[in-house]
Structure 1
Amino acid sequence: MNQHQAAVAAPPASGVRGVKSAARTVEVLELLAARGNEPVTVRELCDALEAPRSSTYALLRTLTDLGWVRSDSTRSLYSIGIRALLAGTTYLDTDPLLRVVQPHVEQVSRQLDETVHYGRLDHTDMVYLATHQSSSYARAQNRVGRRLPAYSTSLGKAVLAQFSDEELEKHLPPILAALTPTTITSRTALRKDLDATRKRGYSIDDEENTPGLRCFGIPLPIRDDVVDALSCSVPIERLTPAYEKEIVAALRSTADITLQIVRGLGGLLG
C-alpha cells in the first residue's frame, strides 16, 4: 500500500473518511507530474498505483476529456495536461507571500550572481515557488513547481531543523533514497546534520542533489509552523570560507527584510 492509499484507508483526525476516487485522481495527476516529459503507459500506471487496468483506463479517459491529462493519438501514452498548468499558475498568482518574497529573491541573486530559490514544505518535499538563476551557469531543472525531498535539500533542511523529532518523522519518507553519492540516507545522520544546522543557523546541501553544487538554506519563520525557506546554490569551485559567509549573510539579510515587510502588512496571512 502506498502513502496515498494508506491515507484513504485510515480516517483522518476529523473522523471523515477520504473519498477513494478523489484520492486516486490525485495519485494519477501527481505521478504524471513527477514524470515530467516522460509519458507513461496504462500498465505502468496500474503497477505504480496497484490499481485494476479497467478503472485506471476509465479514469485516464475522463481526465483526458477534461484536459487534466493528455494522450498520444493511440491513447497508449499519457502525460500531464494543460489544466494542471492552469491550476498551478493560479496558486502562484494568488499566493500573497510569493508576491513579497520574489522581488527579493531576484535582488539577492543579482547581487551574488548565484542561483537563489524560495520554497515551501509540502509533506515530505520542498516545492520551489520562485527561482532566479545565476548568469554564470544555467540548469534546466531550475524551474518553478519542481519538487525535491526535504531531507536532501538546503531549503528542506532549513525547515526540518525547526521541528521536534516527532514532527520531523511526519515529513520524512519511509526510505531516505540517495539522489547522489553524498545524499544523507540515514535518519541518525540526518538528525546530526539538522543539529549542526541549528547550531550554525543555516543548512547545507553538500552535493546531495546535484554533484558539483553546494547549497545554503535559511528558514523564513513567517508562520508559527515554519514551512518556507530561502536557499542559494553555488558551484563548489567558486566557494571559499569567506564567500560562504557572504552568501549566508546575504540570505539572512533578505530573510530579515522579507519578514519586516510581511509583519508590516499585518493581515497578509489572513
Structure 2
Amino acid sequence: MTESTARAGVKSAVRTVALLEYLAARHDKPARIREISEALGMPRSSAHALLRTLIGQGWVRTDETGTLYGIGVRALLVGTSYLDGDPYLPMITPFLDDLRTDWDETFHLGRLDGTDIVYLATRESPQYRRVTNRVGRRLPAYATALGKALLAERVGAERRSHLPQDLVALTPRTLTCPDALDEALENARVRGYAADDEENTTGLRCFAVALRYIWPAQDAISASVPVSRLTAERERELIAALCAVGDKVSRVLRPVANGDKWFA
C-alpha cells in the first residue's frame, strides 16, 4: 500500500465515523444529503457514495424515496457489544436497582467521553417516565450533574480538555460562563457531590457522585427528581444515599479494577 493510498483510507475512515456520529446524534430526525454535506464539510458526491456503501452494509437506512437518511440497525450491534463487554457495568447496575427500589426516583449511570457524558444505564421511577430511553444518549458534561461530578475530579488542563470551546445553553439555567462553571465544580469537589438545577432539562434537578474505583474517575451515578415534588429534606436524604452508595461501589470495585488502564 502506498502512502497516498493509506492517507486516502484514513480520510475515508474519518469521514465514515463522522457521518455515523452525525446521524446518531439526530436521533429520530433523518437528514437530507444537503444537510449531511454541509454539516460535515463533505462534497455531495462523496457523501452520496459513502451513504450508498453504508446503506448496503446496514449501517445507514433510508426512506422509500431515497432522500432521507438515518442511523441503521447494525449500529445497534456496536452499542450493545460495548455494554455487554464492559466489566464494571454488571457490578454497578444492581446498586442502581436498589436505589430505585428504596427511593422510587430515577437513577442513572454515566461515563465521561471527551466533552460529553454518555448514559450507560437508567433505572426509571414509575412516577416520572421519559419519552425516550436515555441509554446511549450523550449530553455536554458541563450541563449535567453526572458530568459535573466527573469534571470536578479534574483540574487545570485536564479539566479544560473535557470542555468545549463554547458553553452552549441547553436551557435558560445552563451555566455558560466559564468562571461560574469553575466555581460550581470547585463547590462540587469540596462537598463531594455535584448538582444541576434544570440545566439540561427544564423541570428536573439532578444530583451525582463520582465512582472512584479508578483514578481519575470515569463513571458517576445520579438521581433525577422533578422540582415540583422535591423538598429540602428529600434533597438532603437523596444526596446522602447517593454518597453512601457511591462510596460503597468505589470500595467494591477498586480491588477488581486494580489500576485498570482500559480508560487510558
Within a 5 Å distance, the mapping from 1:246-257 to structure 2 comes to: 246-257=237-248
Among 251, 255, 261, the alignment partner of 1:260 is 251
Shift of 1:264: 4.4
Contact 1:262-1:268 within 8 A present in 2 as well: no
Counterpart check, 1:71 vs 2:62? yes
Q: CA RMSD in A?
A: 1.8
Shift of 1:51: 0.8
**Which secondary structure does the structure 2 equivalent of 1:19 belong to?**
helix
Answering whether residue 121 of structure 2 is matched by residue 113 of structure 1, we say no
Aligned counterpart, 1:26? 17
**Cα deviations across residues 232-259 of structure 1 (Å, max 9, x unaligned)?**
0011122222211111111122212222
> What secondary structure does 2:176 align onto?
coil
One-letter code aligned to 2:126: S
* TM-score, normalised via structure 2 length: 0.92
Taking structure 1 as reference, are residues 173 and 55 closer, same or farther at Cα in structure 2, changes over 3 Å only? same
Counterpart of 1:58, as a letter, is A
User: Which sections of structure 1, spanning at least 5 residues, go unmatched?
Assistant: 1-15
Tell me which amino acid in the other structure corresponds to 2:193.
Y
Q: Cα–Cα, structure 1 residues 35 and 243, in superposed 2: closer, same or farther, change >3 Å?
A: same
Kept in 2, the 8 Å contact 1:222–1:259? The answer is yes
- Counterpart residue number, 1:83: 74
Q: How many residues align?
A: 255
TM-score scaled by length of structure 1:
0.90
For 1:246 and 1:180, locate their aligned partners in 2 and report how far apart those are by CA, in whole Å: 27
Per-residue CA shift, 1:155-208, capped at 9, x if unaligned?
000000011121111111111111100000111111011111112211011000
- How is 1:236-251 mapped onto 2 (pairs within 5 angstroms)? 236-251=227-242
Q: Tell me which residue corresponds to 1:93.
A: 84
Identity among equivalent positions (%) equals 52
Which of 94, 114, 127 aligns to 2:118? It is: 127
Q: Structure 1 residue 17: deviation in Å?
A: 11
Greater displacement, 237-246 / 103-112: 237-246
Residue in 2 that maps onto 1:182: 173
Q: Which residue number corresponds to residue 56 of structure 1?
A: 47
Asked if structure 2 preserves the Cα contact closer than 8 Å seen for 1:96 and 1:268, the reply is no
